Structure 1
């Protein structure tokens, strides 16, 4: 159940925060885990923790991975922190991934930048057709949000329906949700997932979140 998972994520986050409070250096993968947990908890508090961790890392000159940044962007969007989401997304050095492509669409939706959104999807569907160029993939769930957003603008609906058909024909639509895309773990990262699961079960609490990172 979600309540059990929430408790597990909270326990895992407390472990990571205690590590940070004890000046344990985070690796790139540790930041991915921390931001992923904050994203899953999806609360104002977890957003503050994610933001604090990210800002501290940048101040220290640490380079955060694209995947970690994607979790931070997604969390900001879920918390209706559009300006923060746009700021983080703009700092992703190479946003050429399925997660970035879909987050960019959500940013356009929340920004009400519908003309630019349709143009972005058009470029993805009708751009360079070389088989050697990696095409952007879009989640069916995200595209459904686009259609819902433009449904009251006949001209944009017509354009979207045309683009939607082209994206399907070219195999650029996936049934995976945005959440599934974000949380997909490559084979060589399974060890980190197992480690996180172990921490969730065997190590629960050190001190309340409000007394740890955010209190400093």
Structure 2
């Protein structure tokens, strides 16, 4: 994949000067910026719930706890950072605490290189914290930090980071980060499916000649590896291809989608067929929604219908135009025309299926119950400290209950 990224960098200067006209891309930037994946999908909702529980558990001793953590995290301190220390600090975090938490992570990670105490994985929780606090630059800095090597090597962590960068329109940084992710092949996965979705989303949002070439190069690598991307990755790549005057590539990419009748797939295919002059096939595609089954009304976007109509009208085929007019009339009367943009549909937030949401919430509650079991005296360990300025005695590290 290194050669793919080299292609991206070589074309950057050219792309900055290149402007292409496309019908899918909106004429004005969207005012609302949001994540590509929903908070439920990313586990951020569960993280927020855990924040509330941690705050309730610590109560009025939270400030004393912070002061202790500042002491233990300092370079000169011989105190260790325990798993529960870092867990609680992550769930108490405000913007003012980020520097402290990074110091704690650095020290904790260094400790674990010598002796690993537990198997708790911090990468996803830390990245949810930074996602919640909206700190993409710090998230990227932590991800690239040599001191935190091995800390963020989980697929869900990669997904959280890329989603955060996406929300803040850091699309070029997403491509650079993908190259690092792809080279690691964590969990034996060379092309993680959700990561590919976010990569294609970044390329689509960049919407430049070089990002199109990069996306198509990655697509070829996926094809050679026998990888079948998720539908959203497919439609992002197909839309980018058609935006850059490659409707043939768009059609070939869409052929890999299992559900050919999905709304974005149908709309993109209609545009691509129109642009290569296969107007009879385009009109037949429009008619196919009339034969659809099920309770969901199938639609075409108005902008797509308008492009098809203009092309048929320009072709001079009177009979085909007459048939298209009948279809348009029926679509209007029966509500088969969607007024929203295709771009907005392509970028809709990805949510878990409704039937999975409750099961996922139950699992998350069980998974995050660690604080309910572990916040009772786990901060104690033995050390010698001076008592009343006179006598040395064996003393335990103060527990949370002793900070009040």
Residues 70-92 of structure 1, C-alpha deviations (whole Å, 9 max, x = no match):
11111111111222222112222
The alignment partner of 1:187 has SS state of coil
1:3-53 Cα distance to aligned partner (Å, 9 max, x none): xx9972222222222322344544211111111111111222112221222
User: What is aligned with 1:161?
Assistant: 325
* Structure 1 residues 60 and 120: alpha-carbon distance in aligned structure 2, compared to 1, 3 A threshold: closer
1:137 and 2:299 correspond = yes
- Runs of 4+ residues deviating >3 angstroms: 21-26, 186-189
> 1:66-145 to 2 correspondence within 5 Å?
66-125=231-290, 127-128=291-292, 132=294, 134-145=296-307
Query: Residue 210 of structure 1 aligns with which residue?
Result: none
* Whole-Å separation in 2 of the counterparts to 1:123 and 1:100: 13
Residue 145 of structure 1: CA displacement?
0.7
Task: Identify unmatched segments of 5+ residues in structure 2.
Answer: 1-27, 30-165, 354-404
In the alignment, the residues of structure 1 paired with residue 267 and residue 169 of structure 2 have an alpha-carbon distance, to the nearest angstrom, of 29
Aligned residues of 2:283 and 2:324 also touching (Cα < 8 A)? yes
Which residue of 2, 5, 8 maps to 2:170? 8
Give 1:39's aligned residue.
Answer: 204
- Structure 2: distance between partners of 1:100 and 1:181: 11
Using structure 1 for the length normalisation, give the TM-score: 0.75
Q: Contact 1:101–1:136 (CA<8 Å) still a contact in 2?
A: no
Offset at 1:102? 0.2
Structure 1 CA distance for aligned equivalents of residues 171 and 194 of structure 2: 16
Instruction: State the alpha-carbon separation in 2 of the partners of residues 119 and 58 from structure 1.
Output: 29
How far is the alpha carbon of 1:66 from its aligned partner?
A: 1.4
Which runs of 5 or more structure 1 residues have no equivalent in the other structure? 190-216
Would you say 1:148 and 2:314 are equivalent positions? no
Partners of 2:227 and 2:265 in 1: CA distance: 21
Number of aligned residue pairs: give it.
184
Pair 1:177-2:341 in alignment: yes
Change (3 A) 1:95 1:122: closer
Between 1 and 2, higher relative CO (CA 8 Å, sep ≥ 6) is seen in 1
Across the aligned residues of Structure 1 and Structure 2, the Cα RMSD in angstroms comes to 2.4
Cα distance in 1, alignment partners of residues 351 and 255 from structure 2: 28
